């Protein structure tokens, strides 16, 4: 797949440039995020957004840095800001080039002056470095750098006030500032001894963040400057600006840190390398040996369900088994009575602890069943026991029929947990299809390992549960006439909405559905839910369907679970197709993956967002860089590679006249405990599905 390319002629077009955002992280919870022309359009944007303590909260310290070129006593401000409906200054008109790799780079041309800016966010430090290089100039040139400071929580906005401390204190190579007590010092330094800092504290009023206003939020704030750096710069010379919570000892130290960090940067040259780089940005290491997964940038923190969903894709597809285990160990340390803590708790998200087993099934490939059972066996068993005895006062509990009941008053417990006007958009109380599928998968997998490692006590207690669960599931959920699984069932309703949740029941390693049933469900999803961006959350034929929505948050929330397209269930759709068709599905899967190529350069550069609108052009929505989306695409890429290799082995074996070839990888449906249909039945189901689709048309 091709690499990132940008239309240089369009860089000065704000409709083009302001819709493209860039992101860099420090792997400790901090990040830099703005548009490719460095104009902030969200309150979450900033050149330095970082935690200031051991909590999950992050703060915008350095909002932006304005550059001004001075020649012949004329000033040319290269910055771009929006103030209450007006752009001023309009430095974007000077931009001639933008490059993303190895680090975001912008080139400005002002008359005969050509200035290059390279932005580098330093890993494992709260530090931003920007190198300015004067590529061309024919007269004496002065460069002026003015930092604009916020010092506020990223979810809030700052206002001009008398409490802010606008003083700057001299340090080697620059100054340090701290607007409010309780914050760390921000050290702003350069690698040029002749750079002068001119103290000139002042407030700049009325910055406007359009994306916040569109979402119905407050979108105006005031920022403080404590002064500006000024220095002469000649053609071919560079200056490095550093903003950090740690002081740099000298100009040489600044140079050394910059060069060493730049040398370690990977080149994002194609689709796969961009996704792999993006995946690494979600795993963060906090103080106290805590390793967590950020669910999505710029506004999400760690979310338990998203962590388990995304870990196989964002870590294991690149061989980072230690990162995966460190995240799991962090979460297990917080467990109490068989339940995870916070957003990973079953009382918050009834399915979240069951996704733990999905991660473990993928981790086993890297560490083997013996080490996995030794390390995580007790946690696996304790989670199942917690569901069996019930949690949250019976809100989440295994019933006598072997199914998991999840229901709370006016509070959704599935992944479709969006609330609008104080009410759930999709309550789904009772037995939910994906929760039952995850439960069956978890019990079957734990029993497999327990038998292998001779845990007789556990096996005796649990061996009857899977068949009980399977019989109850098929009785309650499988709709023979319709040919797919119900979305949820309770005492008064069998919900027959066609949703993407049934993909989980088709694609987990242990499935309660026969091959024929899986084919039929896949045909239904293909007809109603499949798009070039993944699976819709609801069929367009449903009266609740929302194809696209207005910019405000309320409209987005209403559509997010009633039409919006998601990548994570798409993973299980693709996995099912591979398990049913083997390597023959590889070409189609590869085309599906290729469809995302353009997405890497139209919203968040080098990454993929949370979800998409349900109808063309399938505009990206939600967080601009999301762990389950990036991890999902990397997981699909791994499936393509493995099944393609298996098909090649089979073809070579056939060419040599061998009677059999190795089975395609991951064919775990064979372990489904009697739920397997014959190949003939699968073909028959496919024909019935095709006839049904033709009749519907």
Q: What's the rounded Cα separation, in Å, for the pair 259 and 449?
A: 49
Tell me which of 478-492, 507-521, 616-630, 679-693 is least confident.
679-693
Q: Return the pLDDT at 53.
A: 84
Strand ranges in 79-194 using DSSP code E only, listed in sequence order: 80-83, 86-90, 95-99, 105-110, 113-121, 127-136, 141-153, 169-171, 174-177, 186-190
Q: What's the rounded Cα separation, in Å, for the pair 350 and 304?
A: 11
Show the 3-state SS of 174-213.
EEEECCCCCCCCEEEEECCCCCEEEEEEEEEEEEECHHHH
Cβ atoms of residues 21 and 36 within 8 Å: yes
* pLDDT tens figures, 104-139: 999 999 999 999 999 999 998 899 999 999 999 999
The residues near 560 (Cβ < 8 Å, ≥ 6 apart) are 418, 425, 537, 611, 621, 622
Q: How many alpha carbons fall within 13 Å on the CB side of residue 522? A: 26
Show the 3-state SS of 504-543.
HHHHCCCCCCCHHHHHHHHHHHHHHCEECCEEECCCCCCC
The tokens for 343 are 């957003």
Choice between 659 and 73, residue whose per-residue pLDDT is larger: 73
Query: Is 265's pLDDT higher than 60?
Result: yes
The residue among 591, 499, 604 whose CA lies nearest residue 277 is 604
Cβ atoms of residues 187 and 174 within 8 Å: yes
* pLDDT tens figures, 83-111: 998 999 999 999 999 999 999 999 999 99
Q: What's the rounded Cα separation, in Å, for the pair 90 and 11?
A: 12
Mean pLDDT of the chain: 92
Kindly state the DSSP code that residue 638 receives in the 8-state scheme: H
Query: Is 74's pLDDT higher than 60?
Result: yes
Query: Is 696's pLDDT higher than 60?
Result: no
Query: Is 666's pLDDT higher than 90?
Result: no
CATH class of 8-263: mainly beta
- Report the percent of the chain where pLDDT is more than 90: 83
Mean pLDDT across 418-424: 89
Q: Return the pLDDT at 554.
A: 84
Q: What's the rounded Cα separation, in Å, for the pair 434 and 566?
A: 15
Biggest alpha carbon distance in the chain? 87
In the chain, where are the structural domains located? 8-263
Mean pLDDT across 317-332: 98
* pLDDT tens figures, 47-64: 999 998 877 889 999 999
Q: What is the pTM of this model?
A: 0.92
Query: Is 322's pLDDT higher than 70?
Result: yes
Q: What's the rounded Cα separation, in Å, for the pair 333 and 574?
A: 34
* pLDDT tens figures, 164-207: 999 999 999 999 999 999 999 999 999 999 999 999 999 999 99
The residue among 241, 242, 174, 168 whose CA lies nearest residue 199 is 168
Q: Return the pLDDT at 3.
A: 62
- Report the percent of the chain where pLDDT is more than 70: 94
Q: What's the rounded Cα separation, in Å, for the pair 21 and 36?
A: 6
Mean pLDDT across 214-226: 96
pLDDT band at 542 (very low <50, low <70, confident <90, very high): very high
pLDDT band at 665 (very low <50, low <70, confident <90, very high): very low
Q: Return the pLDDT at 388.
A: 98
């Amino acid at each position: 797949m091709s690499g990132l390319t940008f239309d240089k002629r369009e860089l000065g077009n704000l409709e083009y440039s302001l819709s493209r955002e860039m992101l860099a992280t420090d792997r400790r919870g901090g990040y830099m995020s703005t548009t490719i022309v460095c104009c902030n359009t969200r309150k979450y944007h900033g050149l330095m957004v970082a935690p200031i303590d051991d909590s999950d909260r992050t703060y915008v310290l350095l909002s932006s840095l304005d550059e001004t070129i001075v020649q012949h006593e004329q000033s040319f401000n290269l910055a771009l800001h929006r103030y209450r409906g007006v752009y001023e200054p309009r430095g974007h008109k000077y931009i001639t080039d933008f490059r993303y790799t190895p680090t975001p780079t912008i080139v400005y041309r002002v008359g005969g002056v050509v200035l290059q800016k390279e932005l580098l966010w330093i890993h494992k430090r709260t530090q931003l470095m920007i190198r300015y290089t004067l590529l061309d100039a024919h007269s004496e040139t002065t460069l002026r750098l003015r930092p604009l400071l916020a010092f506020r929580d990223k979810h809030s906005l700052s206002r001009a006030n008398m409490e802010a401390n606008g003083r700057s204190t001299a340090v080697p190579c620059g100054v340090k500032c701290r607007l409010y007590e309780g914050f760390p010092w921000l050290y702003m330094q350069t690698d040029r001894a002749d750079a002068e800092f001119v103290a000139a504290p002042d407030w700049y009023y009325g910055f406007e963040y359009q994306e916040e206003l569109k979402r119905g939020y407050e979108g105006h704030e005031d920022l403080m400057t404590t002064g500006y750096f000024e220095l002469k710069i000649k053609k071919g010379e560079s200056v490095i600006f550093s903003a950090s919570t740690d002081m740099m000892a000298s100009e040489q130290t600044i140079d050394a840190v910059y060069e060493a960090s730049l040398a370690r940067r990977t080149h994002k040259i194609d689709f796969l390398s961009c996704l792999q780089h993006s995946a690494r940005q979600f795993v963060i290491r906090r103080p106290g040996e805590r390793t967590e997964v950020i669910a999505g940038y710029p506004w999400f923190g760690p979310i338990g369900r998203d962590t388990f969903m995304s870990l196989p894709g964002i870590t294991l597809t690149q061989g980072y088994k230690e990162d995966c285990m460190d995240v799991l160990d962090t979460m297990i340390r917080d467990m109490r009575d068989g339940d995870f803590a916070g957003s990973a708790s079953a009382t918050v998200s009834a399915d979240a602890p069951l996704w733990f087993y999905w991660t473990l099934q993928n981790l086993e490939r890297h560490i083997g069943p013996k080490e996995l059972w030794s390390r995580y066996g007790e946690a696996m068993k304790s989670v199942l026991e917690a569901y069996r005895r019930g949690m949250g006062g019976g809100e989440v509990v295994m019933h006598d029929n072997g199914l998991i009941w999840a229901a709370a008053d006016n509070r959704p417990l599935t992944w479709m947990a969006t609330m609008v006007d104080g009410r759930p958009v999709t309550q789904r109380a009772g037995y939910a299809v994906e929760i039952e599928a995850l439960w069956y998968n978890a019990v079957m997998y734990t029993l497999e390992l327990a038998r292998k490692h001779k845990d007789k006590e556990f096996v005796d207690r649990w061996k009857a549960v899977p068949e009980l669960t399977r019989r109850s599931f098929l009785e309650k959920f499988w709709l023979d006439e319709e040919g797919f699984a119900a979305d949820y069932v309770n005492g008064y309703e069998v919900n027959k909405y066609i949703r993407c949740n049934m993909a989980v029941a088709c694609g987990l390693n242990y499935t309660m559905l026969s091959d024929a049933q899986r084919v039929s469900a896949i045909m239904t999803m293909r007809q109603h839910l499949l798009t070039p961006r993944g699976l819709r959350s609801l069929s367009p034929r449903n009266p609740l369907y929302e194809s696209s929505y207005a910019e405000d948050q309320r409209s987005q929330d209403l559509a997010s679970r009633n039409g919006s397209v998601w990548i994570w269930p798409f993973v299980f759709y693709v996995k099912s197709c591979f398990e049913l068709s083997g390597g023959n599905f590889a070409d189609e899967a590869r085309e599906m993956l290729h469809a995302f190529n353009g997405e890497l350069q139209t919203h968040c550069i080098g990454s993929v967002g949370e979800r998409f609108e349900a109808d063309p052009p399938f505009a990206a929505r939600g967080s601009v860089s999301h762990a389950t989306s990036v991890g999902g695409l990397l997981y699909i890429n791994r499936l393509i590679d493995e099944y393609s290799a298996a098909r090649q082995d089979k073809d070579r074996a056939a060419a040599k006249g061998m009677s059999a070839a190795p089975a395609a990888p991951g064919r775990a449906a064979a372990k489904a405990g009697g739920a397997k249909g014959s190949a003939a039945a699968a073909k028959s189901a496919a024909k019935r599905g095709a006839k049904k689709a033709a009749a519907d048309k």
